[in-house]
Every structure is written in structure tokens, then in C-alpha cells.
Chains A and B, each alone.
Chain A
Amino acid sequence: MTVPKEMPEKWAPAPSSWSQKKPSWGTEEERRARANNREYNEKFQYASNCIKTSKYNILTFLPVNLFEQFQEVANTYFLFLLILQLIPQISSLSWFTTIVPLVLVLTITAVKDATDDYFRHKSDNQVNNRQSQVLINGILQQEPWMNVCVGDIIKLENNQFVAADLLLLSSSEPHGLCYIETAELDGETNMKVRQAIPVTSELGHISKLAKFDGEVICEPPNNKLDKFSGTLYWKDSKFALSNQNMLLRGCVLRNTEWCFGLVIFAGPDTKLMQNSGRTKFKRTSIDRLMNTLVLWIFGFLVCMGVILAIGNAIWEHEVGTHFQVYLPWDEAVDSAFFSGFLSFWSYIIILNTVVPISLYVRWREGGPSARLRWGPQYPGVPQPDLPLPCSVEVIRLGHSYFINWDKKMFCVKRQTPAEARTTTLNEELGQVEYIFSDKTGTLTQNIMVFNKCSIHGHSYGDMFDLLGHKAELGERPEPIDFSFNPLADNKFVFWDPSLLEAVKTGDPHTHEFFRLLSLCHTVMSEEKDEGELYYKAQSPDEGALVTAARNFGFVFRSRTPKTITVQELGSAITYQLLAILDFNNIRKRMSVIVRNPEGKIRLYCKGADTILLDRLHPSTHELLSATTDHLNEYAGEGLRTLVLAYKDLDEEYYEEWAVRRLQASLAQDSREDRLASVYEEVENDMMLLGATAIEDKLQQGVPETIALLTLANIKIWVLTGDKQETAVNIGYSCKMLTDDMTEVFIVTGHTVLEVREELRKAREKMLDASRTVVNGFPCQEQLSTSKLTSVLEAVAGEYALVINGHSLAHALEADMELEFLETACACKAVICCRVTPLQKAQVVELVKKYKKAVTLAIGDGANDVSMIKTAHIGVGISGQEGIQAVLASDYAFSQFKFLQRLLLVHGRWSYLRMCKFLCYFFYKNFAFTMVHFWFGFFCGFSAQTVYDQYFITLYNIVYTSLPVLAMGVFDQLLGLLFHRTFPSSGAWSTQSCMSRAS
């Protein structure tokens, strides 16, 4: 409660003018919150913890809802027609013919909105009134959630929902650890660890907490779930805060008796709320077509109206004047011209059925929608939102349900059905021309098996039979016996006994190798009973490596934030963990710095070979070449490789480095970059230990699927982070690359010129080949770019292109991207290896930009999210690597092979149905309406209707809606005929052959 007396100037209480101008929304630049000081925090007018996802209350419902509804083009259009009909000289139909359907649609939508909002009110109330224990005036008080303010300290108990975004202060567990489940936040069900910063972790008691008066200055509210940067000022010192210290609203506290947290963001500012709503609408080419058509038809309507109006003016002038004996003119309408003008509007009214206005979609980039739910669903999962008047949406919804219900896309092993997370893209699936696929976890199973390793220039893992020859498949000897190790995982198998031998004889390199594997990782261990170890790894690679070390006698037992305990060949050794230099996609490596019981400091590093091999000590040169040979060999077998290295650090250097690291981690701006450069500095001149090779098996049915998709003229590009050899190997094993391909171009240039040259050569080769094939004589003319494209489209022979990440970086530059695209598109298969997530998205963007083709990206990991979001259609594989990809995707299922059914059956049917539906829909409207145009010539262009009014009113919404809908939902192309006609090919391939034709 006390304001610290000596505050450093930097973070002295802000001048009041500054704090006053700051609203609680939008322009907030940084957030300050002081613990236990409501008066101080109130100055900033931060949002309270009361959330409101509802849109209306009883008074505002009618006006607001009507206002929203009349933002729909269709509704406004009908309102306009209604007004026209109220003018007696114009009204060709009585007004109720328009008001009946309009009121019907408005009422149904309003009722739906009202019910939705009612439930939102209910859930808001329920959530806002959840109880939490707030520390007020030194006492814990029960308060509903909505009364929690920024700066409050609240107590959470096990299995409770976190009420707001909290800074973890202390917990019942040692070192201020606590465990949370984030299923509602990001859908991941594994438990995560959060830790209080050491200074606050001692504040275990209310009396201490009540005196806590630290101030947190941090970033403004944002929607990044995995990032937080802030600083705690307390007792004249600064402490860096990261996401590791935060408990976000929506998480559930698990396995922790209690914990205390300081509210940083409340209510609408919490990351959960910032993430909800704002859904981006993807629209299909059919949508675009429909909008154009609607506009054209509207133009057509106006044309008809004009023709008939002119006709009316002429008729009234030529015939009508003489016919006044029996039909005098209206008093108000005294000239033929005016009569024609009025009849224009009359005809607009009776011909309006020709305009399928309900098909018109507004291009909304994003709309406010409360998608937040407090159930088991994942946030952001679009609930099928049904705009009632639109039959297109009904059809698409039907198609989506058919995808969800498809038994053939149900994975028995994982019990996961396919899920159409977007209902609006189905027909686009049938138009896909480019598929961008991730490799790991998408083409492969992402179940990692430690297969081979190279230790100090010696390769282990090949299987030898008794005579010393490399063993062939099927005659495998017995796997080696790990019974000497009581902690061994008996699911682990390894066939090369010489590695175990090396461990047992005490080869120091082998020991160091496994020590590294047991230390350098982020795996969590769980030991329920003595000796029963369970590893919880975030990436399956790590799990495989740590398990391997475990079986070879280097058992990772447990970790605390400061230590790692490893059972090394029976004896438990505790290492002091000084720093974790964590992994990310740019660094592509991770390191740990540990102090062993003898006091020596050593850095252990493992990472991708391209990165790591450049950072080795020059003295390891010989070893390097031997290891590189092994690495190439492994990669040639399609294995994933990692290089391991270590470095001894001396005490002073480490101390000095640790200070710089601390500074970097306290930096307010560009903290990431600074940390990366500090890390970079220490991970240098390392000693090579060896390399590991992990096998990742292909998923079932992948080669067949790829073959079929290729047959359907869909081009498949594999974008993978793996190294070239691995990628090429996988390419062969999944039949993307075949031996009877004319040539596989490999682009590995490091400079712009090299890359350009390689691409040019590839193109020339293809052109030469096609010239000799097509014309039989060489043509000498210099081909311009545009000609190149056209020639390359029709290139003969099958080619494939493999391009490396660093070459791709050049190829994606503005002046070369077209060249690259032309070359790549002439090839049957393209493999980009060593690509970053950003490059993945860039490649997709490139094809989208120039090819005007529908692209589909499929992937399973967080690194595919950008690509999935960029492509027209994103498909997520719900696999081993969390569900970020699924959350970002439009369709989700669990095996790559389901793609063929999604594209070639559902997508194709959907497209055909939608096309047929549109034709039918337009046909029936035209057939119905053109009668009035025709009749106009016989009734003096007077806008007399032929049909009964009710027939006109109900024609679209009652009499003819079901047949079109039924055809749009159920129509299917008969596959049997083609089956019979082309008996040699399978059912799907025949479908796919036809899919291009339409």
C-alpha cells in the first residue's frame, strides 16, 4: 500500500497529463500497474475484468439489429423496392408481395441474433460472476471476476480458471513453479510450466504479499499468446519479465495447490479476448464470379427496364393517346415521357426476381463476431454461421457436413474425423492447382526413431550380420539388449551392438555424446514410481534423442530451473543449469550452459548442420570432413540429422557473458534480436562431437496420393526445413521424383548470379528437349519472357526442381521471382529444402500472385502456419506437433492421404454442384422473369403481371427453393461410367482426370 519513497527517476509516477490522455483502448503505449495500489492504477483507466461479448441489450436490440441487417445489400435492395411499391403510379405489385419475404427474413435473422445474444449474455454473466480470491487491504476476499482490477493480487487454487492475465508471483511449489493447461487458449492439452521470478517466489504468505508494492511496466495489450515483455521495478531493482512468468486468462491451474498472481491485463485487454473475434473471411472464386454476375444481371435488369420504358413512352404516344376513350390517362401522368419514366420503376419491381440479390456477398475483411466460448471447443473455431436468405450458404454448409461425416476421412488410430473449419471454401477445393506441402508430420508420420549416429568420426547404427556384411532387410539380427540399465525404455530398439560396446568401454567421446543428449533439451520428465520415467517432449525429435541417451545409460531424471539431474551409468550427477539458449526457427539450434559437479562450465549445443558446422573450432577440421560424409550418407537415406558440439567456457568469460545476457533480456525493445546476438557470440569455436540421425517414416498412402494428385494435373511443391539430401530422398520414396524423370535440376547457388545461371540452364534444357521433340529443328530466336512462359507451359518430358533455402532467398527477390516461377512451374515436382516459415509463405504468395491459380497449403506444425494462412486454402494435419496449424487452417484431418478424397471427391463434387446450382438458379429466375419482358410487348409496356401476385412472391422462397437446394447439396457425378470406360485406372484417378476438364 505504500508508495516507495525513493524511486528512480525513470520510473517515477508519470505526470498526470500523460496518464490522463491515455484511454483504456487503442492508443496505449505501455502499461503500468502497481501492486496493491488501486488508486494509482485507476488513473490509467484500464479496462475492468468484466467482459462483454454480447452485442445488444433490450433497448438497443431493435435499432441496432435492424441497422446491422440493413447493411446487407439484399435487405436494403428489398426495402428500396418496398418504398417504390408504395407509390400508386409505380406499384405494379401490391406492397405485401415484397414485405412478406422481407419481414420473414428480417424476423428470422433477428430471432437468431437475439437467441445468440441471449446465450452470450448468459455466458458473460456466468463468467463475470465467477468467484476469485482477491487480496484487498491485506485480507483475501471473495470477489466476482468482474470486480478484479489491474494491479490486484489474486489467489488461484488447483483446477481453477485463471481470471485475468496474471504475473505469477509465487506458488505452493518450490521455486515458484506452477503448471497450467492451455487447452482453451491454444488447444494444446499438454501441461506447461510457468515460473515466478526468483525475487517474488518467496512471497508465499499473505502478509508479505500485502506489502508487495512492485510496479510492472510492460507492453500494451496485444494478441500474441507466446510473447510478453515487461519489467518489474521493486526495491530499487529491475527484473525482466517474459511469457514464462505469465498466467493467461483461459488457462487452468493444474498440479499446483495454489499460486498468487498480479493482474496485468484484465477483461477485454487479456490475450484471450484480444484473440477472439475478428475472423478473416476467405472467399472463393465462385463468390467473386457470383458478385460479378449479380452486378451484370442487375445491369441487364436496368437495360430491360430502359427498353420497356422507351417502349412504354412510344406506346403511350402512338397508341395510348387514342385509346383514352376507354382508358384515360392518370391525372398525375400527363405525358408519354413521364409515363415511360414511371414504367421503368414499375418494371424494376416486377423484373427484380431476375436478380439473385441474395447471392451477393459483401467483401468483409473481418467482422466483429464473438466466437469466444467457454466450452471444450477451441477458440477461433468458426461456428457454421448461417446467413438465412442465402441458399449458397446452405449448400456450402451441407457440403461441409458431408466432409465432417465422411467415414473415409476418419482416422481410426487417432479417432479424429475430418473437420471443415471453414464452410465457405468447399468448391474451391475442386480447383486447386498447386499444393504446397510440408514434409515432416505431413508426408511423414513425425514419429521419430533414433536410427544412427556418428561419434567422433565413427558411424554407428548400420546393421551387420555375423559375418560383418551390411545386413539386408528381413534378416535383422536381434536388437541389442539394454537389460543392464534398469531405467531403459523397452520400446527403444537399436541394432548396432558396437555403440553399446563403446559406452561400456568408457570411450570419452561416446560418453560426452550421450551426456550432451541428456542435458541439452527442454524435455520434462515425470517419475511416478521409482524407475518409471515418462518424458514429455515438445518436439518428437528431442524425445527420441533423450530416450536414446537414456537407454545407453545417460538417464535424464529430473530438472529444476537451476539444475538437471542425470543418472550417468548408474550414478546420479546433478549439473547446475546456468543458461538455456533456446531453439527457434532462425537459430535452428539450441544450447545449454551447465556447470558440472567439478565446477567446470561447458556449453552443449545441438542444431542443424548448416548452421553448426560453420561455428566449429578450426582444429576439428579432420573430424568435420568425416562427420560430413556421415551426414550426407544419413541424409541420403532420408534421415533427419543434427550435429552435436560442445565448448568449454572459463569462469570469467561466462560471468561477463551472463551480465550481457541479462542486459539483453531486460531490454524493452528488440529484445529478441539482442538476445540472439548475445547467443550467437558464445556459440562459436565449438568442438564437434558427432551427429545424430533420426528416422521419420512416411505416412500410409502418401506415394499413391501424390501419384493421383499428379495425375489430376495438380502440382505438388514440398517445402521443408530438412536438408537437401533428406528432402530428395523423401521425394523419391513418395514418388514425387521418379527414376524415369528426364532430369532433376538442383539449384544450390549461393549468389544471385549462380542462382540465375542455374535457373537459366534448367530452362534451356527443357526448351531444347521440347524443341527437338515438337519441331525437330532448333529455333534460334531469342525468347522474350512472355514467350518463355508459353513455351514452358507445354514443355515435353518430366522435370523436377530442387532448390535450397539460400538459393531460394535469391530466387524470391523481385527481379528473379518470375524466372524462378517459370522454371518451377514447368517442372512436375518442386522441392524446396532448408526453407524458413517466412519463405514458405513467400513461395505461396509468389504462385498466388502470378499464376492466378488456386493454391492449397498443407502442414502440421507451427512453422507452417504462415503458409497455411497465405494460401487460398489451408489444410492442417492434426498430428504430433500441437494444433497451431489446425487452428490456422480451413480444413483439418489427420493423414495426408485424405487430401485426395478432400480434393478429388469433395472438392470436385462441391464445385460441380455449385456450378449446376448457379446455372439452375439463374435459369429459373430468368425463365420466370423474362415472361414479363415478353408480355410487356403485348400489354402496352404497362408493367402488367402475367402471374398471380402470390405466385411471384413465393416463387423464389417457397415454390422453387427446394429443388435447387436439393440439387446443390446432393447431386453427384456418377463415377461408375468412367470406371467402366477406363478400367485400368482406379476410381479416383478417373475422377481426377475429369476434374480438370470441367
Chain B
Amino acid sequence: MAMNYNAKDEVDGGPPGAPGGAAKNRRPDNTAFKQQRLPAWQPILTAGTVLPTFFIIGLIFIPIGIGIFVTSNNIREIEIDYTGTEPSSPCNKCLFPNATPCFCTINFTLEQSFEGNVFMYYGLSNFYQNHRRYVKSRDDSQLNGDASALLNPSKECEPYRRNEDKPIAPCGAIANSMFNDTLELFLISNESQSTPIPLQRKGIAWWTDKNVKFRNPPGGKDLEERFKGTTKPVNWVKPVYMLDSDPNNSGFINEDFIVWMRTAALPTFRKLYRLIERRNDLHPTLPAGQYYLNITYNYPVHSFDGRKRMILSTISWMGGKNPFLGIAYITIGSISFLLGVVLLVINHKYRNSSNTADITI
């Protein structure tokens, strides 16, 4: 496939060095670098090299693709849209602005049990968290607990910088639009009885975000005191220090908040909402059966044709459910194998007709 470039024709035109020891020797140095004799390599495409390459690619890629595809298919995932735009939907009543707070319940069935840790996501569609003006509308130093930024947020936060002459904490459009539906999951064990599924609200944010990037402002023991002089974002119901009862999960370091602040790259996205931890080895985390989802419907998306979803998913070593990667591997592998076969046939048929046929440069 390749060869080393040997400059075999390194024959000197004359005796080395200047005859008679001239004062200055202008002869160029005979080094590999200066004479352009550094080892060189160039793939030469011949039937002998190309055909095996195609077959090898095919033989390696197809099994990998199958493996990934099967793994991805083994991941259990269920998506429930609770936007409520359809009149039949139980959440349809919540579309009207006067119905606040609004509660609705959606029933669903798990055909197969979910084993291992189950992740609960909320998903939004047509929500442009990646818009330039949206992305930059935050103040990272405020979120990092900087005292001066807390009271004087960055200009980037406009128009959510100040409200009624008080600085907003957290400022900016991202924080202002934080997702605030509450989702609860219940397993219907029998006709009338249902058991709530324990949802863990901690451990859903990145460690670095939780411990480095986001910090509550310094000051008094009480969170409320630390945020003194600020006001809540316009859309929010509660101020930031009341996001959670646990002081380690409230304020800027509230994990739901942190997850929201990490903006999504595409307008259709999902964000981790809760963890459902495996209890023990004997029982599946979520056994197959009837469930219902209790929704406190606060977050309006109807005005911009948005959709809201709740997703339950298990994970594997390769992350969440993603059939594309496996399909891509299988496609590439198959094409490569097929090309190999075609070229093999061509090569076999026409091998002897031309001497230069194996040069494809």
C-alpha cells in the first residue's frame, strides 16, 4: 500500500568539499531535510490494497453497527406529550390563561418493565433556547455568587435586568423563562390504589456546574438575607431562594435551575428532571403496568406552538436511546462491503486487459 521514498540516486557530482580548500564552502549541506529526503509516504491505490480495505471496513463496521443498534433498541423509553392542544387531552383545560394553578392527570401504560436507573426528562419543542439573544441573556458572575454582580447585573440581561428598580436575581431571559411545571408519577397497583414513585431531585446537574460555576452569594446564614436587595424574575412565582426547602438545593445552586441554565443546542430538546433510582435487584424500577402522571401545569407554550413532553428512559453504556449511530455504522459497512465485491468482480474480469489498470491515481 505504501512505500518509503528512497533517494537512491544520491551520487555526488564530484569530490566532496571545495577543491583546494576554498575560503568559504558554498556547497549546500547534504542533510535529509535540505535535500528533501525526509521519509515520505504515500498511499498507492491498487486492487491489492483497495479491495482488502473495503472488505475490512465492511467486516468491522457491520458488527459494530449491529451491536450499537441492538444496545440502543434495548433501552426502554416512553414519551408522553402533555401539551394539551388536542381537545380530548386531559390538559386541554390548562391552555386557558385563567386556569391557574391548573392540575391535570395523564394515564399511560408501560408494556415492559424499566430496569436499572430510570431517568425522567421534560422535553420542549419549538423552544429556541439557542437563539443568540437568549443565549447571551445571563450574567455568569452573578450566578457565580459575585456580590457586586448580584446587585448590578450585566447589561446582557436586558430587558430582564431590573424590575421596579431592583436588580433581578437571577437576571436575564434564560432564568426568567425557567420551566416550572411540576410532574409527579404514580403507579396504579390496583383499581383504586396508587403508589407514588419516589423521584429524586438531586444529582441531575453536572458536578462542575453545581460546585464551581453556580454559587449562592456570600453573606448571612439565611439564604433570603443573602439575596437581600434583589427581586425575583418577572415570570417567577417564588423568589430564587425559595426554589427548594433544602438550603443545599436552593438559590442559584438549585439543580433544576442549573439544568435549565445550560441552554440546549436545538429548538427541540429534553432536560433531565428527576432520577428514579433502582431499589433492589429483585424488583424492576418501574414494573410494567398502569401509571398516571400528575402535572401542575404552569408553563405556557401554546402561544408559540410549543410542545411539552415527559420522557422516561433507561440508559446503557452508550447513553440514551439513539438508533442513528448503529444505522450509520451498518450503512457504511454495507456500502463498503458491496463496493468491495463490485470492485473484486471488475478486477477479476479485467485484470489482464491493461497493465496500468491497477493504477487509480
Partners in one complex: yes
A939, B128: Cβ atoms under 8 Å? yes
Q: Is A92 an interface residue, CB under 8 A from the partner? A: yes
Asked whether A319 lies within 8 Å of B304 as measured between CB atoms, the reply is yes
Contact A407 to B131, CB < 8 A, known contacts A974-B3, A974-B40: no
Q: Is A117 an interface residue (CB 8 A)?
A: no
Contact code string A951-982 (vs B, CB < 8 Å = 1, else 0): 00000000000000000001011111100010
Stretch at the interface among B21-29, B112-120, B343-351: B21-29
A973-B42 in contact given A942-B132, A987-B9 (Cβ < 8 Å): yes
Contact residues in B for A406 (Cβ distance below 8 Å): 28, 35-36
**Per-position binary interface string of chain B over residues 164-176, scored 1 when its CB falls under 8 Å from any chain A CB and 0 otherwise:** 0000000001001
- Residues of the A chain whose Cβ atoms lie less than 8 Å from the Cβ of B9: 987
Give CA–CA (A346, B25) in the complex, Å. Answer: 59
Residues of chain A within 8 A (CB-CB) of B131 are 323, 327, 939-940, 942, 944
Interface 0/1 of B20-47, CB less than 8 Å to A: 0010011111100011101010101000
Q: Which of B34, B127, B265, B266 contacts A405 (CB 8 A)?
A: B34
Q: A331 interface residue, CB < 8 Å from B?
A: yes
Contact, CB under 8 Å: A938 / B266: yes
Separation in Å of the A891 CB from the closest CB of chain B?
15
A981 with B359: in contact, given A405-B35, A415-B22, A944-B135 (CB under 8 Å)?
yes
Interface residue A330 (Cβ < 8 Å from any Cβ of B): yes
How far apart sit A408 and B37, CA to CA, in the bound complex (Å)?
13
Nearest Cβ on chain B to A948's Cβ, whole angstroms? 13
A323 in contact with B42 (CB, 8 Å): no
Asked if B87 is at the interface of the complex by the 8 Å CB criterion, the answer is no
Nearest CB in chain A: distance from B97 CB, A: 11
Closest chain A CB from B270 CB (angstroms): 16
Q: Which residues of B contact A946 (CB under 8 A)?
A: 265
Listed residue (A417, A943, A944, A981) with the most chain B CB atoms within 10 angstroms of its CB: A944
Residues of A near B266 (CB, < 8 A) are 938
Kindly list chain A residues whose C-beta atoms are within 8 Å of the C-beta of B133.
327, 330, 942
Contact of A972 among B5, B26, B304 (CB under 8 A): B5
Q: Which residues of B contact A328 (CB under 8 A)?
A: 159, 173
B28/A939 in contact, CB under 8 A: no
Q: Known contacts A325-B303, A412-B13; is A417 also within 8 Å of B135 by CB?
A: no
**Most chain B CB within a 10 A radius of its CB, from A402, A413, A938, A939:** A939
> B5, A326: Cβ atoms under 8 Å?
no
Q: Cβ of A973: which chain B residues have Cβ within 8 Å of it? A: 42
Is A974 in contact with B42, judged by CB distance below 8 angstroms?
yes
**Contact partner of A407 among B15, B27, B359, CB < 8 A?**
B27
Instruction: Kindly provide the distance from the CB of A290 to the nearest chain B CB, expressed in whole angstroms.
Output: 25
User: A460 at the A/B interface (Cβ < 8 Å)?
Assistant: no
A976 in complex: contacting residue of B5, B15, B29, B355, CB < 8 Å: B5
Tell me whether B267 is interfacial, beta carbon within 8 Å: yes
**What are the residues of chain B within 8 A of A323 when measuring CB–CB?**
128, 131, 304
Does B239 lie at the interface of the complex (its beta carbon under 8 Å from any beta carbon of A)? no
What is the chain A residue whose CB lies nearest that of B134? A327
A-B contacts at CB below 8 angstroms, number? 114
Q: Which residue of A lies closest to B267 (CB)?
A: A938
Within 8 A of B (CB), among A471-487: none
Closest Cβ–Cβ distance, residue B15 to chain A (whole Å)? 8
Q: Does B14 contact A (CB under 8 A)?
A: yes
Known pairs A322-B303, A972-B36; A405 contacts B28 (CB<8 A): yes
Whether A407 lies near B356 (C-beta < 8 A) is no
Q: Write the chain A residue with the least CB distance to B173.
A: A327
- B180 CB, nearest partner CB in chain A, Å: 12
> With a CB–CB cut-off of 8 A, which chain A residues contact B356?
981
Cα separation A163 to B255 with both chains bound (whole Å): 84
When distances are taken between beta carbons in the complex, the residues of chain A under 8 Å from B134 are 326-327
Q: Which residue of A lies closest to B42 (CB)?
A: A974
Given A405-B28, A405-B34, A974-B40, CB of A944 within 8 Å of CB of B159: no
Chain A residues within 8 Å of B176, by CB: 326
- Kindly list chain B residues whose C-beta atoms are within 8 Å of the C-beta of A970: 36, 38
Chain B contacts of A940 at CB under 8 A? 128, 130-131, 267
Nearest residue, chain A, Cβ from B13? A412
List A contacts of B40 (CB < 8 A): 972, 974
**Is A179 interfacial (CB 8 A cutoff)?**
no
- Given A407-B27, A410-B28, A417-B27, A939 contacting B304 (CB threshold 8 A): no
| Given known A323-B304, A327-B173, A404-B28, contact A944–B5 (CB-CB < 8 A) | no
Q: Are B27 and A410 in contact (CB-based, < 8 A)?
A: yes
Nearest B residue (CB) for A343: B132
Least CB separation from B10: chain A residue = A407
How far, in whole Å, are A946 and B173 apart by their CA atoms in the complex?
Answer: 20
The smallest beta-carbon distance between A597 and chain B, in angstroms, is: 46
Q: Please name all residues of chain A whose beta carbon is closer than 8 Å to the beta carbon of B27 when the two chains form the complex.
A: 407, 410, 412, 415, 417
Residue A69 interfacial (CB < 8 Å): no
What is the CA–CA distance of A325 and B131 in the complex, to the nearest angstrom? 14
Query: Contacts A322-B304, A325-B303, A407-B35 given: A938-B130 contact, CB under 8 Å?
Result: yes
* Closest chain B CB from A86 CB (angstroms): 14
For window 108-152 of B, CB contacts with A under 8 Å fall at 126-128, 130-135, 137
B128 neighbours in A (Cβ, 8 Å)? 319, 323, 327, 939-940, 942
Residues of B close to A939: CB separation below 8 A: 128, 130-132, 267
For the complex, what is the distance from the CA of A974 to the CA of B35, rounded to whole Å?
Answer: 15
Roughly how many angstroms separate A92 CA and B131 CA in the complex, as a whole number?
A: 11
Q: State A946–B34 Cα separation when bound (angstroms).
A: 43
Residues of chain B within 8 A (CB-CB) of A415 are 18, 22, 25-27
In the complex, which residue of chain B has the Cβ closest to the Cβ of A333?
Answer: B133
Q: Which residues of B contact A325 (CB under 8 A)?
A: 177, 300, 303-304
Q: Is A416 at the interface (CB under 8 A from chain B)?
A: yes
Q: Is B244 an interface residue (CB 8 A)?
A: no
In Å, the complex CA distance between A940 and B134 comes to 11
Q: Kindly state the separation between the CA atoms of A573 and B82 in the bound complex, as whole angstroms.
A: 125
A510 to B314, CA, bound (A): 115
**A-side contacts of B135, CB under 8 Å:** 944
Bound: A327/B235 CA distance, A = 12
Contacts of B352 in A (CB 8 A): none
**Which B residues are CB-close (under 8 A) to A943?**
132
Is B6's beta carbon under 8 Å from chain A? yes
Closest B residue to A938 by CB, please name it.
B266
Could you say which residues of chain B place their CB within 8 Å of the CB of A977?
3, 44, 359, 361
CB distance from A752 to the nearest CB of B (A): 49
A410 to B17, CA, bound (A): 12
Does B181 touch A at the CB level, under 8 Å?
A: no
Residues from 135 to 191 in A contacting B, C-beta threshold 8 Å: none
Q: Give the nearest-CB partner of A331 in chain B.
A: B159
Q: Does B224 contact A (CB under 8 A)?
A: no
Q: B225 at the A/B interface (Cβ < 8 Å)?
A: no
Candidate in B28, B127, B134 with the most chain A CB atoms within 10 angstroms:
B28
Distance in Å: Cβ of A319 to nearest Cβ of chain B: 7
Residues of B within 8 A of A405 (CB): 28-29, 34-35
Which residue of the partner chain B has the closest CB to A973? B42
Residue interface bits A311-355, CB-to-B below 8 A is 1, else 0: 000000001001101111011000000000000001000000000
- Give per-residue flags for A856-896: 1 if the beta carbon is below 8 A from chain B beta carbons, else 0: 00000000000000000000000000000000000000000
Give the 6 A-B CB pairs with smallest separation, nearest first: A412-B14, A326-B177, A942-B132, A405-B34, A322-B304, A944-B132
* Interface CB pairs A-B, < 8 A, 6: A326-B134, A402-B34, A940-B128, A940-B130, A970-B36, A977-B44
- The chain B residues found within 8 Å of chain A, CB to CB, are 3, 5-6, 9, 12-15, 18, 22, 25-30, 34-36, 38, 40, 42, 44, 126-128, 130-135, 137, 159, 173, 176-177, 265-267, 300, 303-305, 355-356, 359, 361
Q: Which residues of A contact B (CB under 8 A)?
A: 92, 319, 322-323, 325-328, 330-331, 346, 402, 404-408, 410, 412-413, 415-417, 938-940, 942-944, 946, 970, 972-977, 981, 987
Known contacts A322-B303, A326-B304, A412-B14; 10 further A-B pairs (Cβ under 8 A): A326-B127, A326-B134, A407-B27, A415-B22, A939-B267, A940-B128, A973-B42, A974-B42, A977-B361, A987-B9
